Amino acid sequence: MEIIRPEVTTPQEADLAEGKLINSFLETCTGQYPDPDKWLDEEIRRNVLLTTVDAAVAWARQRSIFPLIFGTACCAFEMIAASGPRFDLSRFGMDIIRFSPRQADVMLITGTITWKMATAARMIYDQMPEPKWVIAVGACAISGGTFRESYSVVPGVNHIMPVDVYVPGCPPRPEAMIHGINRLHAKIVKGTIDNPNLALK
Amino acid sequence: MTVAVNTEETGKKIAEAIPGSVVSSEAGSLTVDSKSLAQVSEFLKNTPGLEFDYLTVLTAVDYLHYFEVVYRLVSLKNNQSLILKTRAYGRENPTVPSVTDTWRAAYYQEREIFDLLGIKFEGHPNLKRLLLWEGFNGHPLRRDYL
């Protein structure tokens, strides 16, 4: 749209110019400009898609799981490597590693859990807000590993809390951990608002 | 480089000061009677020329008919080291005097040995289990455990 800028020097000239402008408006402004939001109809048809609330919430959950690290043994170093630039957990929205259970969504159990540590692990798990998930990484967390028969080692962390994904290995490479995270994503996508822990089929 | 002291000479010094305390002083280690351990530890820490002011390791071994408690001492002043041993007999109630008054570093290691091997350290300020929980049955590093 053209911008009207009359060149004036004195007040009288300004009045004359204003009068001319009003007369030209009366002559030319007969039609109506179209409303500026008329184009929205077409944009809505192009950009808005309908889905269920469950699917939208599950998608948001899946893309922003804050991990709580619980590294008790050597598997923790694979987790550290996985969160580094080469394997880059930020791709999955997991770059904000939490040390407080109250801000975390997924607990990464990476290492041997002894019975004396089991009380602390259970307390931290209980403090995490719902919905929450647990990934058991490595042979020791899954089953006790080589220390299964020992007097002080928990034979599998699923004795003290429910585990969603098991990542085998001694220790598993970061690729395996990323595969486990992908399986957890597949599980979260199946969940609903009421029941975020629907079983993975 | 820390040099190991001659245990036979050190054993003679200790035997002169505290008669009847040294059991053997051969093969690079010095074995003393557990009854005189408190006196021996004070002597080793405070005698000029020895001055073992730093306890690096305190551990114990189960030889089935006796327990052997091993102290590895280092003198930071004279840059020398010594392996001191003492024995505790009996499987029900093996007892060794505590050296926490002499070397404060013994506090946690004596608790660990009490926890895993069941050796009681007389005079320890807070002798209770360190790595295992209260109510655990037995002492897992004993050779007859399991």
Provide, as residue numbers in chain B, all residues whose Cβ is less than 8 Å from the Cβ of A115: 133
Domain with residue A78: its CATH number is 3.40.50.12280
Task: Work out how many domains chain A is built from and give that number.
Answer: 1
Q: Which residue of B has its CA nearest to A150?
A: B140
Residues A93-136: tens digit of each pLDDT: 888 888 889 989 899 999 999 999 999 999 999 999 888 899 99
Statement: residue A199 has pLDDT above 60: no
Which residue numbers of B have CB closer than 8 Å to A's CBs? 131-133, 136, 140, 145
In-domain check, residue A120: yes
Task: Judge: B133–A151 Cβ closer than 8 Å, yes or no.
Answer: no
Task: Judge: B131–A116 Cβ closer than 8 Å, yes or no.
Answer: yes
Statement: residue A194 has pLDDT above 80: no
More confident position, A69 or A40: A69
- Three-state DSSP class for residue A69: strand
Residue A79's domain spans which residues? 66-190
A25 has a chain B CB within 8 A of its CB: no
| Residue A63 CB partners (closer than 8 Å, separation 6+) | A92, A93
A149 has a chain B CB within 8 A of its CB: no
Q: Answer whether 0.90 is exceeded by the pTM.
A: no
Q: Which domains does chain B have, with CATH numbers?
A: 3-94 (3.30.460.80)
Q: Which residue of B has its CA nearest to A152?
A: B132
DSSP character at residue A159: G
One DSSP character per residue, A108-150 reads EEES--BHHHHHHHHHHHHHSPSS-EEEEESHHHHH-GGGTTS
Provide, as residue numbers in chain A, all residues whose Cβ is less than 8 Å from the Cβ of B140: 151-152
d(CA B116, CA A40): 76
In-domain check, residue A199: no
ipTM comes to: 0.73
In-domain check, residue A4: no
- Three-state DSSP class for residue A170: coil
Residues A8-50: tens digit of each pLDDT: 678 888 888 888 889 999 999 888 887 777 777 777 778 888 8
Burial class (CB in 10 A: 0-12, 13-18, 19+), A194: exposed
pLDDT on residue B22: 80
